[in-house]
């Protein structure tokens, strides 16, 4: 069953390309303003059709696949012919729907889609199969390039599904760590371009749900929860690239402050045995239109009242205890939650947010340290009530 977006995109792209014609050449489709991912899928699929036919021709079938240069020459030959491939209306529309659905999945959940598509039901594939299937993917080109580099360095001829999954996660971790907030936001641009079916401007809003799915695929739990909670509080279901960049900058600054504050408290012995936590890319912040101050003394909506910064209410020993027992030793996650709580204006909002955090992390809200943390958060709002009452 296709999503409403896929149906709408197919309708629009078919109008741009085949319109009411009974048939179409691949070249006409590729020249019709298609997203890069859709173009790449259409071309790769037509090349696959032609290659399958070519292999079954008697004389071409006698070409040894391992003969020097044969694979490259065959691919070049087929790609040069592909533009003249003629499709009936029904064949083209079916292929276009496949291309749009695949591109939506790949851009939204690249790791999951790559693994599913490259391996299908197999647990291991050879490098030629891997390269052939990667030809269907236009965006996030760093995946294919870095994969090839690593596999060539290993002198690998085959790759197992589990190894591929680990390798893909490591590539994503490194890419995320090496990008500034602005660069990280631009990693999402191919998805934004696709959702708008045009070159997305930096201030053009796109639906939030696919962006959150993108973060989820990259195991960016803190970033996902932070962006989701801020957008929910602002009653918005859309986000622009500039707004995402701003969110990433704000949360990153909070994370750096937290790292600086907690550095002296870390137990080296505990750190040595600590499991690696999921990557936190340059985390999030507010666009100019929605930005609020989360520094000590957070201004309320009317600009008159002031709520204390939670960081000023938590002692060093408490912070160390909360990170260890409530946030599973994940200091970055702790400061991400604190940053979100600092943007809230009422205890009801905070209680609803904490309920979600505890549920997601399977925490007992009535256990000792969790109750202590909840009570401390509530103090932030009760202090405000005391000063204004």
Q: Is 387 exposed, middle or buried (0-12, 13-18, 19+ CB in 10 A)?
A: exposed
Shared domain check, 204 and 95: no
Q: Which residue has the tokens 């204006």?
A: 345
**Residue 276 is encoded by which pair of tokens?**
């690696």
Mean pLDDT is lowest, of 20-24, 36-40, 246-250, 291-295, for 291-295
Of 91, 108, 125, which marks where a domain is finished? 108
Shared domain check, 118 and 104: no
For position 260, what pLDDT does the model report? 61
For position 333, what pLDDT does the model report? 76
Count of domains forming the chain: 3
Assign 262 a pLDDT band (cuts: 50, 70, 90). Answer: low
134: number of Cβ within 10 Å: 18
Largest Cα–Cα separation, the chain: 91
Query: Running DSSP on this structure, what letter comes out for residue 287?
Result: -
Q: Which of 116-130, 175-189, 241-255, 360-374 has the highest mean pLDDT?
A: 116-130
Tell me the C-alpha distance between 384 and 150, whole Å: 56
The mean pLDDT value for 167-171 works out to 89
Q: Which of 148-157, 199-208, 362-371 has the highest mean pLDDT?
A: 199-208
Q: Is 272 exposed, middle or buried (0-12, 13-18, 19+ CB in 10 A)?
A: exposed
Q: Which of 71-85, 199-213, 320-334 has the highest mean pLDDT?
A: 199-213
Q: By C-alpha distance, which of 120, 94, 104 is closest to 42?
A: 94
Phi and psi based region of residue 72 (left: phi greater than 0; alpha: psi -120 to 50; beta: remaining): alpha
Shared domain check, 282 and 199: yes
What is the full DSSP assignment across 284-331? -B--TTT----SSSEE-TTSS-EEPPHHHHS-HHHHHHHHHHTSTT-H
Tell me the β-bridge partners of 87: 24
Phi, psi angles (nearest 5°) of residue 139: -90, 170
Shared domain check, 202 and 172: no
Assign 263 a pLDDT band (cuts: 50, 70, 90). Answer: low
For position 184, what pLDDT does the model report? 83
For position 255, what pLDDT does the model report? 65
What is the full DSSP assignment across 223-246? HHHHHHHHHHHTT-SEE-HHHHHH
For position 268, what pLDDT does the model report? 37
Tell me the C-alpha distance between 383 and 305, whole Å: 11
Shared domain check, 164 and 64: no
**Residue 269 is encoded by which pair of tokens?**
């012995």
The mean pLDDT value for 138-166 works out to 89
Residue 264 CB contacts under 8 Å (≥ 6 apart), including other chains = none
* CA pseudo-torsion sign 258, 263, 264, 265: positive
Yes or no: say if 255 and 329 are a contact pair by the CB < 8 Å rule: no
Tell me the C-alpha distance between 227 and 98, whole Å: 31
Would the pLDDT of 277 be above 70? no
Assign 231 a pLDDT band (cuts: 50, 70, 90). Answer: confident
Would the pLDDT of 286 be above 70? no
Alpha-carbon distance values, 68 to 24, 72, 74 (Å): 36, 9, 11
Shared domain check, 239 and 371: yes
For position 269, what pLDDT does the model report? 36
For position 257, what pLDDT does the model report? 63
Shared domain check, 148 and 77: no
High-pLDDT (> 90) share of the chain, %: 40
Assign 67 a pLDDT band (cuts: 50, 70, 90). Answer: confident
Shared domain check, 262 and 152: no
Would the pLDDT of 279 be above 70? no
Range of the domain at 172: 111-178
* CA pseudo-torsion sign 243, 248, 251, 257: negative
Shared domain check, 297 and 362: yes
The mean pLDDT value for 263-277 works out to 39
Query: Running DSSP on this structure, what letter comes out for residue 285?
Result: B
Tell me the C-alpha distance between 181 and 204, whole Å: 18
Tell me the C-alpha distance between 72 and 68, whole Å: 9
Assign 261 a pLDDT band (cuts: 50, 70, 90). Answer: low
Shared domain check, 317 and 208: yes
Tell me the C-alpha distance between 28 and 146, whole Å: 33
For position 383, what pLDDT does the model report? 61
Of 87, 108, 129, which marks where a domain is finished? 108
Of 108, 133, 165, which marks where a domain is finished? 108
Assign 81 a pLDDT band (cuts: 50, 70, 90). Answer: very high
Mean pLDDT of the chain: 82
Tell me the C-alpha distance between 252 and 179, whole Å: 12
β-pairing, 86-88 with 23-25?
A: antiparallel
Shared domain check, 151 and 28: no
pTM: 0.71
For position 353, what pLDDT does the model report? 83
Assign 264 a pLDDT band (cuts: 50, 70, 90). Answer: very low
For position 83, what pLDDT does the model report? 95
Shared domain check, 124 and 58: no
Mean pLDDT is lowest, of 75-84, 229-238, 303-312, for 303-312
Would the pLDDT of 36 be above 90? yes
């Amino acid at each position: 069953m296709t999503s409403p977006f896929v149906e709408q995109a197919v309708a629009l792209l078919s109008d741009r390309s085949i319109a009411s014609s009974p048939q179409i050449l691949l070249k006409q489709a590729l020249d019709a303003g298609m997203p890069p991912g859709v173009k790449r899928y259409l071309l790769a699929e037509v090349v696959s059709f032609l290659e399958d036919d070519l292999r079954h021709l008697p004389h071409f079938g006698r070409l040894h696949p391992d003969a020097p240069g044969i694979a490259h020459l065959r691919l070049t030959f087929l790609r040069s012919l592909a533009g003249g491939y003629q499709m009936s209306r029904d064949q083209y529309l079916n292929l276009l729907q496949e291309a749009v659905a695949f591109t939506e999945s790949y851009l939204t959940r690249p790791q999951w889609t790559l693994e599913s598509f490259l391996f299908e039901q197999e647990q291991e594939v050879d490098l030629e199969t891997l390269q052939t299937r990667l030809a269907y993917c236009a965006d996030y080109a760093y995946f294919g390039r870095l994969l090839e580099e690593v596999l060539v360095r290993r002198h690998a001829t085959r790759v197992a599904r589990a190894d591929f999954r680990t390798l893909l996660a490591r590539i994503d971790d490194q890419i995320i760590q090496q990008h500034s907030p602005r660069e990280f936001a631009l990693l999402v641009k191919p998805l934004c371009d696709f959702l708008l079916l045009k070159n997305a401007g930096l201030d053009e809003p796109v639906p939030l749900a696919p962006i959150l799915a993108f973060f989820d695929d990259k195991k960016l739990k803190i970033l996902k929860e932070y962006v989701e909670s801020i957008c929910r509080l602002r009653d918005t279901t859309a986000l622009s690239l500039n707004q995402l960049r701003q969110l990433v900058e704000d949360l990153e600054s909070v994370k750096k402050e937290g790292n600086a504050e907690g550095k002296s408290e870390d137990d080296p012995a505990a750190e040595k045995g600590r499991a690696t936590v999921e990557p936190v890319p340059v985390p999030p912040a507010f666009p100019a239109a929605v930005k609020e101050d989360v520094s000590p003394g957070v201004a309320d909506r009317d600009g008159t009242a002031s709520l204390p910064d939670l960081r000023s209410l938590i002692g060093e020993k408490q912070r160390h205890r909360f990170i260890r027992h409530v946030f599973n030793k994940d200091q970055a996650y702790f400061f991400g939650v604190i940053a979100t709580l600092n943007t809230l204006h009422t205890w009801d909002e905070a209680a609803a947010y904490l309920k979600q955090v505890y549920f997601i992390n399977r925490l007992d809200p009535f256990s000792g340290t969790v109750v202590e943390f909840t009570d401390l958060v509530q103090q932030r709002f009760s202090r405000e009530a005391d000063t204004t009452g």
